[in-house]
Structure 1
Amino acid sequence: MSGADRGGAKRFLVDNGLTLCFLALTLAALVGQAVSGLALYNDDQVAQGARTVSMADYLTSSSFAVDVAENWQSEYLQFFLYIFVTVWLIQRGSPESKEPGKQGTESDEEQHVGGHAGPGAPRWARVGGLRGGLYARSLGLVMGVVFLLSWLTQSVAGWAAYNSEQLAEREDTVGWLQYLGAPEFWNRTLQNWQSEFLAVASMAVLSIYLRQRGSPESKPVGSPHRATGVEG
């Protein structure tokens, strides 16, 4: 590899370090979940007098799919709601909030769209109409779509896992719509949602009074507690 190639690879790693770090952590967590989940699943199988399964079988099972999907949908719901809610609601003193009085979608001049777009602006930021409107809300919309797809995956995988348990216990299976109204589905769903909502509320409030030097998620260390929308 030439010096230019090595320099380009290093620059790529530096410029994308945050994303690459969390993708690596995600992969590591998935591997850990697969290993521990397989062990737990096989323990249950042995306790029930059933045969154990291989890693490949477990990774393609509804049990593994529902555990992954229910976590993903709650995370994307958190971001989807936070993106849209922070357009209109504020938290005085939080760097996660806009300043008081700036609620709403703001003017074209403030958002640098249409005739106010600069030379480096994305192409769709320069146009109006449907394309411009979609691009102006694309982040929240994509988060919402991923949430819905994850939620749908969770519901289907959970339904399959639930019916497998019903069959193992010689109980009647249920339809998908019946499962959506079952306590088991909503218990799994809501226990994830409440933790995500609490985490967002905690971050919004704690960042008023606490600091993390050098982090863009925190105000500068010496900023007043009432300073709002100020990031380090």
Structure 2
Amino acid sequence: MSPKADGKHIGFWGANALSLAFGAGFFLVVAAQAVAGYAEFNEQLAVEGLQRIGFGDYLMSSDFAVDVTENWQSEFLQFFLFIFATVHLLQHGSPESKPLDRAGIESEEYQRMGDHAREDSPRWAGTKDWRQTLYSRSLGLTMAALFLLSWLAQSVAGVAAYNDVRLRQLQEPLDWVTYLGSADFWNRSLQNWQSELLAVATMAILSVYLRQRGSPESKPVGSPHTATGVEG
């Protein structure tokens, strides 16, 4: 059954427009990144006096893989940290924060868990065993797992890309463990982490004072700056 808004049925495209739009945007941007990265990679090969490679070969290369995965892991890290941090940490006046009196994991009644679960609640929310414990933390744990997996993928692709450069320079390649302690690996990771932390901090504080009409990431335009945990 399709969802309703103001008593009217909303079709599939309207009900899922946000995820579909961002999903389509993701594939378009990855494609554009591949084209730009391919051109840059071949320019570097030309500078080094080496033969150009085909586009298909570039898509299968460690250079393309590491550029993609290093961004993925930083994004998943951002969501993982934000999900867990906002359980206990508050920001007065920000819609990104819970109200100041709700710090912590909150009561089972408020969270509609156990005996307080409703008929339309997810099935595991009404249990009182490990299933409830797992489900009640499933979003944060999934984001943590995605971060670790993408970080692992970055390290594997990164050592391959790093060794490709070393071999072209007639240097000995590094093994994976040694690469994990290298400046290249940590520079790739930390330059993305700092940007994600800055973005979250900026959003949290600017949303106290600035507004975007109609956005759930903003407070209603007329809400006072001190209103906390209120969405538009």
Return the TM-score normalized by structure 2. 0.95
Q: Which residues of 2 match residues 61-140 of structure 1 at below 5 A?
A: 61-140=61-140
The 2-side partners of 1:168 and 1:123 are apart by: 57
1:231 Cα deviation (Å)?
0.3
Aligned to 2:4: none
Instruction: Kindly provide the amino acid, as one letter, of the partner of residue 13 in structure 2.
Output: L
1:173 Cα deviation (Å)?
1.0
Instruction: Kindly provide the amino acid, as one letter, of the partner of residue 162 in structure 2.
Output: Y
Return the TM-score normalized by structure 1. 0.95
* 5+ long unaligned stretches in structure 2: 1-9
Aligned to 2:157: 157
Partner SS for 2:222: coil
Root mean square deviation of aligned Cα? 0.8
The 1-side partners of 2:128 and 2:74 are apart by: 33
Residue-pair matches, total = 223
Q: Deviations over 1:186-230 (max 9, x none)?
A: 111100000000000000000000000000000000001000000
Asked if 1:166 corresponds to 2:160, the answer is no
Aligned to 2:217: 217
Q: Deviations over 1:135-161 (max 9, x none)?
A: 000000000100000000000000000
The 1-side partners of 2:184 and 2:120 are apart by: 50
Give 4+ residue runs of structure 1 displaced > 6 Å after superposition.
none
Aligned to 1:17: 17
1:101 Cα deviation (Å)?
2.2
Instruction: Kindly provide the amino acid, as one letter, of the partner of residue 92 in structure 2.
Output: R
Partner SS for 2:229: coil
Q: Deviations over 1:129-186 (max 9, x none)?
A: 1110000000000001000000000000000000111110001111111101001111
Instruction: Kindly provide the amino acid, as one letter, of the partner of residue 174 in structure 2.
Output: V
